[in-house]
Amino acid sequence: MNPGKGQTMWGGRFAATPSDIMNEINASLDVDRRMAGEDVAASRAHADMLAQMGILSASDNEAIQSGLDMIAAEMRAGTFPFRRELEDIHMNVEARLRELIGEPAGRLHTARSRNDQVVTDFRLWTRGALAQTSHLVTALQAALVRRAGENTSTYMPGFTHLQTAQPVTLGHHLLAYVEMLERDRTRLLDCAWRLNECPLGAAALAGTGFPIDRDMTAEALGFARPMANSLDAVGSRDFALEALSTLSIGATHLSRLAEEIVLWTSPQFGFAQLPDEWSTGSSIMPQKRNPDAAELIRAKASLITGLFSALQGAVKALPLAYAKDLQDDKRLTFEAFDTFDLCARAMAGMVETIRFKPDMMQAAAGRGYSTATDLADWLVREAGLPFRDAHHATGQIVALAESKGAELAELSLADLQKVNSAITKDVFNVLTVEASASSRTSYGGTSPVRVAEQVAQWTQRLRLE
Ligand code: ARG
């Protein structure tokens, strides 16, 4: 029956229409209109299957398919009449179909429910979003690998506790993020693989008595198989939770790099400068060059985690199967993807253009007794000391240098020999920043040779040549 003015499609048993506030809280169109393309695609697959199985006549299916063609064209042209009073995207498409083709439109909803329809659309949308986001992650990795390649022998202080620890190479530091992002990217792909089962045909919650072919709709929509349990199909959202938890971890990585950009571009560090395109000024302090994008990425990582947490909260106490709480899953998921994608793009832009200051980095790498471990290692290797004794002797040498306001390499041989008589002038060869970083040739280590190898591998893996 065609709903009359002011009536909903489900209004058969109701005497009165919903109140305005009820409509306001119930409507999801502003959010789920983003799944318009997916909704049309799923309806096409469903109608074709109904026709194939003899549940729908061939001529009705033709009418439905051509109506859906027109709707798709209207959507592309931006002329589709979205109507909030029709609640959601599914009702909007169906109502428009009825306007365009009349009676056969009412047959489309045979053997399906909005419950399986919405989650089919949502899985399709999320699958596409995961693919797009993984490409953005790859683009960021590519930018990092390029900058790492320029900086295989740029030396900087490596930190633990944000205290100078040992010299490292900038290339090595940047490649650490490439590794983290690779795990994020593959987590996104894992998630896409696991979500790729089709809920369509689960109907409201229990399946249907119509002789449908769920393999056919699954295949038409590019899913690996139909979901095996109808209650699970309409009631589960762990695919979205998995996507959001993955984005949350990825955003955490972006945030750590953002924090380093904030530190590095501060006058106190002076390791790097962001170009004008990626800086903002202060309305009162003319000298300021603020790394706003990096700061925003830092904050947005928490936002994404909050979105994950909100979805987890919505799902955790829901009895099976569908409940309207699940309508908000899309708002949270769309915002998480939009936010992450924007952050990934902004981070790639900053990484591509940030100007490193190798001299400042190298000078900082030489401060803070960063080669003390090299001195201790030398005592082990050349003077045969047990490492613990070498560590103790080096501690005494650092204290001596500190009292003189000098760096290790600035102490005289006589000073060093006062602490341990076995020390020779050869020790000075290991006390420089270059010598220290270059000596760390173990697999995964910071030496320029190892980093160059890693850059070459990543260049090949990401097909950057
Ligand atoms: N707009 C709804 C959602 O996003 C569609 C499903 C409605 N199902 C229902 N039983 N009322 O969840």
Render pLDDT for 382-435 as a digit per residue (tens, 0 to 9).
Answer: 999 999 999 999 999 999 999 999 999 999 999 999 999 999 999 999 999 999
Indicate which atom in ligand 1 lies nearest the CA of residue 32.
Answer: 4
Paired with 225 in beta bridges are 197
Residues 295-300: contacts with CB within 8 Å, 24+ apart? 295/258, 295/262, 296/343, 296/346, 297/251, 297/254, 297/255, 297/258, 297/343, 297/346, 297/347, 298/255, 298/258, 298/259, 298/262, 300/251, 300/255, 300/339, 300/342, 300/343
pLDDT for residue 1 is more than 90: no
Assess contact for 364 and 268: CB atoms under 8 A.
no
CA-closest candidate to residue 61, choices 96, 102, 107, 117: 107
Instruction: Please name the residue whose Cα sits nearest to atom 11 of ligand 1.
Output: 324
| Residue 398, C-beta contacts closer than 8 angstroms, at least 6 positions apart | 369, 372, 408
Helical residues (DSSP H) of 2-35, grouped into ranges: 20-26, 29-32
Render pLDDT for 92-127 as a digit per residue (tens, 0 to 9).
Answer: 999 999 999 999 999 999 999 999 999 999 999 999
Indicate which atom in ligand 1 lies nearest the CA of residue 114.
Answer: 6
Query: 461 C-alpha to center of ligand 1: Å?
Result: 43
Sole residue written with tokens 């393999």: 215
Residue 352: per-residue pLDDT: 98
Residue 7: per-residue pLDDT: 66
Render pLDDT for 170-222 as a digit per residue (tens, 0 to 9).
Answer: 999 999 999 999 999 999 999 999 999 999 999 999 999 999 999 999 999 99
Cα–Cα distance between 213 and 156 in angstroms, integer? 62
Residue 87: per-residue pLDDT: 95
pLDDT for residue 79 is more than 90: yes
Mutate to test the pocket of ligand 1, among 114, 124, 125, 237 (most ligand atoms within 8 A of CB): 114
Assess contact for 258 and 298: CB atoms under 8 A.
yes
pLDDT for residue 6 is more than 90: no
In this structure, the number of other CB atoms found within 10 A of the CB of residue 357 comes to 18
| Domains of the chain, each with CATH number or no CATH | 14-110 (1.10.275.10), 120-363 (1.20.200.10), 366-461 (1.10.40.30)
| Cα dist from 127 to 35, 90, 138, 344, 462, whole Å | 12, 19, 17, 18, 22
187 lines ligand 1 (CB under 6 A): no
Render pLDDT for 233-252 as a digit per residue (tens, 0 to 9).
Answer: 999 999 999 999 999 999 99
Q: Give me the chain's average pLDDT, please.
A: 96
Paired with 280 in beta bridges are 290
Instruction: Please name the residue whose Cα sits nearest to atom 2 of ligand 1.
Output: 327
Element (H, E) at 298: helix 292-315
Mutate to test the pocket of ligand 1, among 115, 119, 124, 237 (most ligand atoms within 8 A of CB): 115
| Cα dist from 83 to 7, 30, 53, 80, 460, whole Å | 13, 9, 33, 9, 50
Render pLDDT for 125-171 as a digit per residue (tens, 0 to 9).
Answer: 999 999 999 999 999 999 999 999 999 999 999 999 999 999 999 99
120 lines ligand 1 (CB under 6 A): no
240 lines ligand 1 (CB under 6 A): no
Cα–Cα distance between 438 and 10 in angstroms, integer? 73
Mean pLDDT on 333-346: 98
Residue 50: per-residue pLDDT: 98
28 lines ligand 1 (CB under 6 A): yes
Residue 2: per-residue pLDDT: 45
Mutate to test the pocket of ligand 1, among 324, 328, 331, 332 (most ligand atoms within 8 A of CB): 324
116 lines ligand 1 (CB under 6 A): no
Assess contact for 244 and 332: CB atoms under 8 A.
yes
